[in-house]
A and B are shown apart, each in its own frame.
Chain A
């Protein structure tokens, strides 16, 4: 077998048996494009086989996206290095995962602290609606602690063969040629907290940026900026008798006092509740919004102690560039958080997996070099699968989080059984379910009715203020 090294590549890849069917079709390189277009093209450009090594990919960031990506890469036979800056990081997070994530990622049931099966939506005028009646016995929203989930996924990646390094990514040098390696500069901590760490470099063929909302990988590939929301959360330990109310129930508060463009929440965690809110447009007032959220839930969290205060940016939409040559962004770094619900964990893990799958496929299990075309396939697949979901949630946010009347209408609509069924189906299983047309028409009429009534009441309110 000819040893074709990276630099001296001159023709088709020749060594794998599945391509021998068109090795014979090689009269000249000119006729190649026409013939290759009729065959399944596994790379957009004839990439060479890596002679004496496997493809090396670095995953920067060890959250759900990074962990899932590293596991899939390692299982696909690629030399994977996962770089995480803080192994015991408690990322500030709502911590809700949909049911499908448990199945798709084979999560053990003991990392789920609570199963939320009931939700309460509370309107600006405190009209409370219970949702969750339509859930079946086995359906729930899982509440997890991020430190537990992230550690579990990283451990699984390590067991599959990935190398996990405790270090902080600093910057990367871009390659000069299309097949030269990326040089990553990072500080290795080696498990010692508080130490300054040693500066190191590493050469890899491709990089997956899974380092979250303030991604450095995104900065180094000029991915562009996005609008982001600030999510502010306080963890409150409340007395046991109040905790039983939140046993399997989460609350969502909407209103101008709580957030002008998002919602306030009370989510139960392992032994405490997380009370928080978020906003895009009025970040400076986040503390006022948090006070208002606590005020609205006051009766139910009275006597509680705040054990932790945390905040984090949440992307509102994807960055303009989600990949560049052999670097791709996944998860929060790419901006895959949905509107309306602000859900990000599942999409982070799924995008990490999808990107890794594209790399595994494009490199034929680590045997070949990849190029941008292989990574673009991941973007295509992602957009095709999930863009409808993102669009629907964006429309919901635009229509129902606009103003107090819209929020009142929203809460009124949530009382409807069909709405609940559709909402939970699409949330738990991540598919935009079609539903029956007659019910859809009824729903449309009811929505318009609710909106009209709520806006009419607003006009009445304005008349009273004058």
Chain B
């Protein structure tokens, strides 16, 4: 709550310190948070809850118990009773924040007329601009506003623009890998067994190898993909296992609590 008090205590003075403080603090908070997605969440000093995870519900539940004792009294009395102190926190009046601004971003969407090149819309630059906007917002989340709603829909960009930019280069890469693997596998099998390429295609084992090679190239593109696929498989079956757990227990008197 101390953070909220600091950020949202009424900045009636439009001093330069306040508005600049807000985006810096929020961006530092968010940049630490972004890394925390990958690594273990760091218990930053801003964050009041540093206790281990298991204990959180109990203190939170206990803390809540004390609040209701006070809040019925204070919410019934007029809300301009500021004497209660920490219980009622003002969200403050407007403070100026850096917002996303771009000459081509008009009325909550990209103005396609400004992206014209040689008389046709340059979809590539639309895609890049939208990516820039999303990156900006990830680093500096903005408030939504009813006066300036965001209306952009990525489906206005035609499918062939996406295809040319993303699918084709990757397809080229994967086909290249498959071709190289195919060529060398055909060579080695021929060397080892004497079976030529045409005869290899007629053999079931070789056809299976071919299938495995193609699937491997498609699904395993980085070293991490092997683990990712295994985790994905576990994930799809986990929820079902949790539900079926009630039916698995044999009726035994000695039961240990397990997940």
The reply to whether B36 and A303 form a contact with Cβ atoms under 8 Å apart is no
CB-defined contacts of A294 to chain B, threshold 8 Å: 4, 91
**Which residues of A, 379-418, contact B by the 8 Å Cβ criterion?**
379, 383, 387, 390-391, 394, 398, 404, 408, 412, 415
CB-defined contacts of B24 to chain A, threshold 8 Å: none
CB of A23 within 8 Å of the partner chain:
no
A305-B133 contact given A299-B146, A320-B245, CB 8 Å threshold:
no
Distance from B45 Cβ to chain A, minimum over Cβ atoms (Å): 12
Against A, the Cβ 8 Å flags (1 = close, 0 = not) of B205-249 are 000000000000000000000000000000110011011011101
CB-defined contacts of A310 to chain B, threshold 8 Å: 64, 67
CB of B83 within 8 Å of the partner chain:
no
CA distance A465 to B136 in the complex (A): 11
CB-defined contacts of A122 to chain B, threshold 8 Å: 144
Residue of B nearest to A287 (CB): B47
A320 is contacted by which of B71, B159, B258 (Cβ under 8 Å)?
Answer: B258
CB of B50 within 8 Å of the partner chain:
yes
The reply to whether A372 and B239 form a contact with Cβ atoms under 8 Å apart is no
Distance from B93 Cβ to chain A, minimum over Cβ atoms (Å): 6
Distance from A374 Cβ to chain B, minimum over Cβ atoms (Å): 14
Distance from A281 Cβ to chain B, minimum over Cβ atoms (Å): 9
The reply to whether B162 and A452 form a contact with Cβ atoms under 8 Å apart is yes
CB of A6 within 8 Å of the partner chain:
no
The reply to whether A321 and B246 form a contact with Cβ atoms under 8 Å apart is yes
CB-defined contacts of A214 to chain B, threshold 8 Å: 57-58, 61
CA distance A251 to B78 in the complex (A): 28
The reply to whether B259 and A226 form a contact with Cβ atoms under 8 Å apart is yes
The reply to whether A291 and B137 form a contact with Cβ atoms under 8 Å apart is no
The reply to whether A230 and B155 form a contact with Cβ atoms under 8 Å apart is no
CA distance A285 to B56 in the complex (A): 12
A287 is contacted by which of B3, B53, B162 (Cβ under 8 Å)?
Answer: B3
The reply to whether B135 and A298 form a contact with Cβ atoms under 8 Å apart is no
**Which residues of A, 291-347, contact B by the 8 Å Cβ criterion?**
291-292, 294-313, 317-324, 339
The reply to whether B79 and A299 form a contact with Cβ atoms under 8 Å apart is no
CB of A180 within 8 Å of the partner chain:
no
The reply to whether A456 and B144 form a contact with Cβ atoms under 8 Å apart is no
CB of A125 within 8 Å of the partner chain:
yes
Residue of B nearest to A289 (CB): B33
The reply to whether B132 and A284 form a contact with Cβ atoms under 8 Å apart is no
The reply to whether B245 and A300 form a contact with Cβ atoms under 8 Å apart is no
The reply to whether B146 and A306 form a contact with Cβ atoms under 8 Å apart is no
Point out which of B29, B165, B251, B257 has the most chain A C-beta atoms below 10 A from its C-beta: B257
CA distance A319 to B248 in the complex (A): 12
CB-defined contacts of B34 to chain A, threshold 8 Å: 256
CB of A283 within 8 Å of the partner chain:
yes
CA distance A232 to B48 in the complex (A): 14
CB-defined contacts of B127 to chain A, threshold 8 Å: 456-457, 460
The reply to whether A127 and B150 form a contact with Cβ atoms under 8 Å apart is yes
CA distance A291 to B25 in the complex (A): 11
CB-defined contacts of A318 to chain B, threshold 8 Å: 242-243, 245-246
Q: How many A residues touch the partner, as a band?
A: 35 or more
Residue of B nearest to A324 (CB): B255
Distance from B44 Cβ to chain A, minimum over Cβ atoms (Å): 8
The reply to whether B37 and A306 form a contact with Cβ atoms under 8 Å apart is no
Residue of B nearest to A290 (CB): B4
CA distance A311 to B29 in the complex (A): 22
CB of A223 within 8 Å of the partner chain:
yes
Residue of B nearest to A92 (CB): B64
B-side interface residues, number (CB < 8 Å): 84
**Which residues of A, 90-104, contact B by the 8 Å Cβ criterion?**
90, 92
Point out which of A90, A245, A255, A299 has the most chain B C-beta atoms below 10 A from its C-beta: A299
CB-defined contacts of B259 to chain A, threshold 8 Å: 224-226, 320
CB of A440 within 8 Å of the partner chain:
no
CB of B30 within 8 Å of the partner chain:
yes
The reply to whether A295 and B37 form a contact with Cβ atoms under 8 Å apart is no
CA distance A128 to B258 in the complex (A): 43
CA distance A457 to B75 in the complex (A): 47
A464-B131 contact given A126-B142, A223-B257, A313-B57, CB 8 Å threshold:
yes
The reply to whether A125 and B134 form a contact with Cβ atoms under 8 Å apart is yes
CB-defined contacts of B61 to chain A, threshold 8 Å: 214, 311-312
The reply to whether B57 and A296 form a contact with Cβ atoms under 8 Å apart is no
Point out which of B67, B141, B150 has the most chain A C-beta atoms below 10 A from its C-beta: B141
CA distance A459 to B127 in the complex (A): 11
CA distance A320 to B256 in the complex (A): 11
CB of B160 within 8 Å of the partner chain:
no
CA distance A224 to B153 in the complex (A): 46
CA distance A308 to B33 in the complex (A): 26
CB of B119 within 8 Å of the partner chain:
no
The reply to whether A127 and B138 form a contact with Cβ atoms under 8 Å apart is no
CB-defined contacts of B41 to chain A, threshold 8 Å: 282, 284-285
**Which residues of B, 112-143, contact A by the 8 Å Cβ criterion?**
127-128, 130-135, 137-138, 141-143
The reply to whether B137 and A126 form a contact with Cβ atoms under 8 Å apart is yes
CA distance A460 to B153 in the complex (A): 17
CB of B21 within 8 Å of the partner chain:
no
A412 is contacted by which of B36, B74, B145, B154 (Cβ under 8 Å)?
Answer: B154
A296 is contacted by which of B141, B247, B257 (Cβ under 8 Å)?
Answer: B141
27 A-B pairs within 8 Å (CB atoms) are namely: A126-B150, A222-B255, A224-B258, A224-B259, A228-B57, A230-B56, A257-B141, A287-B48, A288-B29, A292-B141, A294-B4, A296-B141, A298-B91, A303-B93, A311-B60, A312-B57, A317-B242, A318-B243, A320-B258, A379-B246, A379-B247, A391-B239, A404-B138, A415-B153, A452-B162, A453-B157, A457-B130
The 5 A-B pairs at the shortest CB distance, nearest first, are namely A460-B131, A298-B143, A320-B245, A311-B60, A317-B242
Residues of B within 8 A of A (CB): 1, 3-4, 7, 26, 29-30, 33-34, 36-37, 41, 43, 46-50, 53, 56-58, 60-61, 64, 67-68, 71, 74-75, 79, 87-94, 127-128, 130-135, 137-138, 141-147, 149-155, 157, 159, 162, 165-166, 235-236, 239-240, 242-243, 245-247, 249, 251, 255-259
